[in-house]
Structure formats: C-alpha cells, structure tokens
Amino acid sequence: MSAYDAIAGLYDPWSRSVTEDVLFYVAEARKSGGPVVELGVGTGRIAIPVAAAGIRVIGVDDSEGMLEICRARAERAGVSDLLELRAGDFRRPPVLERVPLVTCPFRAFLHLESDGERLDALRAVHRLLVPDGRLVFDVFAPSKEDIEETNGRWLEREPGIWERADWDLERRVLTLAVRGESGESAMRLSWRAPKEWRALLERAGFEVVAMYGWFDLRPYEGGEDTVWIARRPAV
C-alpha cells in the first residue's frame, strides 16, 4: 500500500498552486514526439495536459488510489485513448516499449531512499529509452532557511489542508505529513545534492544535457530546485 492511497482525494487540491512545471513538460513531450513514459504519474497533473497536446503517454504509479483519480480525470478531459495507466514500481516499470522520452515530474524520484534504489530506477529508465532518448525530471534539496521556517510546524498549505515537514539533516530525509478533511498520510522524501544526482546519472550511463534552476530554463545558481535533462547516448 502506498502512502499516497490515503490522500489520493486530497492530492489535487493540495497541489493546486503547483502549475509552473506543466508547460515545460508539455513542451518536452511535444519536442520528443512521444510516446512518453511518465514515472509517478499520480493524478495526471502533467500527463493529462501532455495527452491533450496529442502525445501518447504511458503513466506508471504504485498508488492505485492516485491511478483511479487519474483515470477519472482523463475520461472527463476526453484523453483516455492517449493516456494508458499501468500500476507498478518505477524501479521496475511495467513497460516493454522503447520511447524517446521518460519523465519523472514533481520530485517523485525523492521517494527513492538509497543510491541502490536511485540507480535501479535510473538504469530502468535507460533501458526504456531509444538511443538519443531523454530523461527529464526535477528534484530539490532544501535550503537552511526552508528547514528553519518549516521544521516541525503544521502549516496550512491550502484552505483546510495542513502540511508538516520534519527534516532529518543527518539522513537527509524529509518526513512530510499532510492532513485534510478527506484523509491524512505521511511520506518520506530523501534528497541529494545536484552533484550527487549528476554522478548517479553518469553511473547509470546518461550524459547530462542540461541542469536548470527552474522550469523557465534559468541557469542553476545554487537554489533548492534542479530540473534535469539527461540523454541516453546513441552509442
């Protein structure tokens, strides 16, 4: 059972203000021509706009609750024929197709808890890609200020939706609790520094094409967020 199952009904209102990445991922999908495999597809926040742009998406997630909501949203949006949902773990994605683009939006790789798990996932992506195919994802590593401002405090993120961050600096693990009228849960997010992500990508056989500091493609200058474009070399 995934920690997301209990809050699947809360996820869309909880992430309502997160919109800055949608056009970026849609543009990457258009550039690739598709199909796109989205790892950690969730409720389709990104996958539905990508499918609405006419690009075929295979969405993988290990939360049945999130997939159920995604399926209903895709039907309402009229894109079910372009969005195929598959239950599974993104370290062993149930995908036999080879695709030009794999994405993992909104920090979903932070659910990987060790370098072994990160490498399993990155190597699995490598196998899914055609030569020259791309992996595009975003992650974060918290700033000192963010930790000081939020640690151990319940904060109302959206009306009626409360969030609490407990930061374990030694293990670099954030325990994020969320609660609202329709459910509550807690999940662990494990962060790594950009240079560690770069080293892992290279160990998995990728070439880093770009690492941005935000979805508007500004250069990375030491902020919390990093947006990665990595390529499976042709040879």
Ligand X SMILES: C[S@@+](CC[C@H](N)C(=O)[O-])C[C@H]1O[C@@H](n2cnc3c(N)ncnc32)[C@H](O)[C@@H]1O
Please report, as ranges, the residues that interact with ligand X according to CB under 6 A: 2, 4, 15, 40-42, 45-46, 60-63, 66, 89-91, 105-108, 111
Element (H, E) at 208: strand 207-212
Name the residue nearer to ligand X (CB basis): 91 or 179: 91
DSSP code for 218: P
Q: How far is the CB of 131 from ligand X (least distance, A)?
A: 25
Query: Which CB sits closer to ligand X, 140 or 162?
Result: 140
Q: Minimum CB separation from ligand X for residue 61, in Å?
A: 4
How far is the C-alpha of 210 from the C-alpha of 169, rounded, in Å? 28
Closer to ligand X by Cβ: residue 124 or 201 = 124
Strands 161-168 and 154-158: antiparallel
Nearer to ligand X, 20 or 156 (CB): 20
Helix (DSSP H) and strand (DSSP E) numbers for the chain = 7, 11
Q: In DSSP terms, which residues pair with 208 in a beta bridge?
A: 230
Query: Shortest gap between Cβ of 187 and ligand X (angstroms)?
Result: 8
Q: Output 88 or 131, the one with its CB closest to ligand X.
A: 88
In angstroms, what is the minimal distance from the CB of 159 to ligand X?
A: 19
Instruction: Name the 3-class secondary structure at 47.
Output: helix
Least distance from C-beta 47 to ligand X, angstroms?
7
Mapping DSSP to helix (H, G, I), strand (E, B) and coil, where does residue 100 land?
Answer: strand
Alpha helices in the chain (DSSP H): 8-14, 22-32, 47-52, 64-77, 115-128, 144-150, 194-203
